[in-house]
Copies of this chain bind each other. A is one copy, B any other.
Amino acid sequence: MPMPPSPPLGEFARIERYFKPLAAGMPGALGLSDDAAVFEVPPGLQLVVTTDAMVAGRHFLADDPPAEIAAKLLRVNLSDLAAMGAQPYGYTLVTSLPRTCPESWLEGFVAGLAEDQARYGIGLLGGDSVSTEGPVTLAVTAFGLVPRGLALTRSGGQPGDLVLVSGSVGDAAAGLALLQGRLGSLGAEDDAFLINRLRRPEPRLSLGQAVRQQASAAVDISDGLVADLGHIAEASGCHAVIEAARLPLSPPLRRLVANDSVWLATALTGGDDYELVLTAPPARLAGLTALARTLGLALTPVGHLSEAAGSPVSVIGADGRPLALARTGWQHF
């Protein structure tokens, strides 16, 4: 391939300085000095593998702090592991960076990775670094472990199951609206809360692992509650009904909805919350909410599954009549 002009630091020097320390705790990473990582899956466990990419200007704002970009990159992947009920183990990373990317950006990015590695008990297993004339593009493949046969999937829902949502929804979409100036300030504290929900979503790993044998299906909310619950409905061969009045809303979002009901649609369809949507038989409701409480997390019933109908999801308004939504969620592409 054509020899590129010398970057500030060559690929190997960058690996040495920035990425090797991230692999320090992972013997299988072979110090990032080999062609591949080698590791074992302990007996009785299955490997869970997910991959998610982010592009500057589309999945994050180009001038977002690099540590927050790193946090989001890891957490959207960990959220997929959470939805499968898996315990995270490690990840590989592909960075496509403009040649002009300053070392300070990389330092912040790596610091963000290191912080979340410690937070979630994971380490770097390998990766690749390429340069691009285009926007910063980042891809993580995350690895988790789950006891054999116990992975949560999207396909186990049954008619009659309740639909439950962890935490609150719509916050990340409001945070994005704030950052993009489509929503005026709600006061420093609310603004910070909503923007933090966008930039540092909390993958519901403990919840996913705890409900493995009680939930019938699970998905994480990346594209919006309606769209992602639609995935459960389709994979399970069911129809899902959401009662909009039961949506779990944070205090700032509740105030927004009270002022303008468009925010209710945002809570239903806004992406990037990375909460879990679970389905479970009604008999398990008390146990599940109690379990979530021990994790300090709300788990709110918002609807139920019924026999398959025309559309995967319908939404019932507070007046008991169906709500029409302009869109069901983001179509990333």
Contact = CB atoms under 8 A, between A and B. Distances in A.
B131 A55 contact: yes
Copies of this chain, complex-wide, total: 2
Contacts of A246: none
A163 B184 CA distance: 67
B50 A35 contact: yes
A286 B250 CA distance: 72
Contacts of A80: 35-36
A92 B333 CA distance: 17
Contact of A134 (B1, B125, B133): B133
Given A34-B84, A34-B235, A86-B36, A58 B137 contact: no
Chain A contact residues (Cβ within 8 angstroms of B): what range?
A: 35 or more
Interface stretch (A141-149, A258-266, A302-310): A141-149
A130 B53 contact: yes
A48 B37 contact: yes
A66 to B, nearest CB: 18
A33 B126 contact: no
A127 B58 CA distance: 18
Contacts of A137: 96, 130, 132, 134, 137
A177 to B, nearest CB: 11
Contact of A11 (B48, B50, B327, B331): B331
What are the nearest 3 A-B pairs in CB distance?
Answer: A134-B134, A36-B50, A11-B333
11 contacts: A2-B180, A4-B333, A33-B234, A38-B47, A40-B41, A40-B46, A43-B43, A51-B127, A53-B94, A131-B332, A132-B135
Given A35-B50, A35-B220, A134-B137, 18 more contacts: A1-B58, A1-B271, A2-B58, A4-B58, A10-B331, A33-B154, A34-B154, A41-B41, A43-B43, A53-B94, A53-B139, A54-B130, A55-B132, A128-B139, A129-B332, A132-B137, A133-B134, A139-B139
Interface of A: 1-4, 6-7, 10-12, 14, 30, 33-41, 43, 46-55, 57-59, 80-81, 83-84, 86, 92-94, 96, 99, 125-135, 137, 139, 141, 143-144, 146, 148, 151, 153-155, 176, 180, 219-220, 231, 234-235, 271-272, 327, 330-333
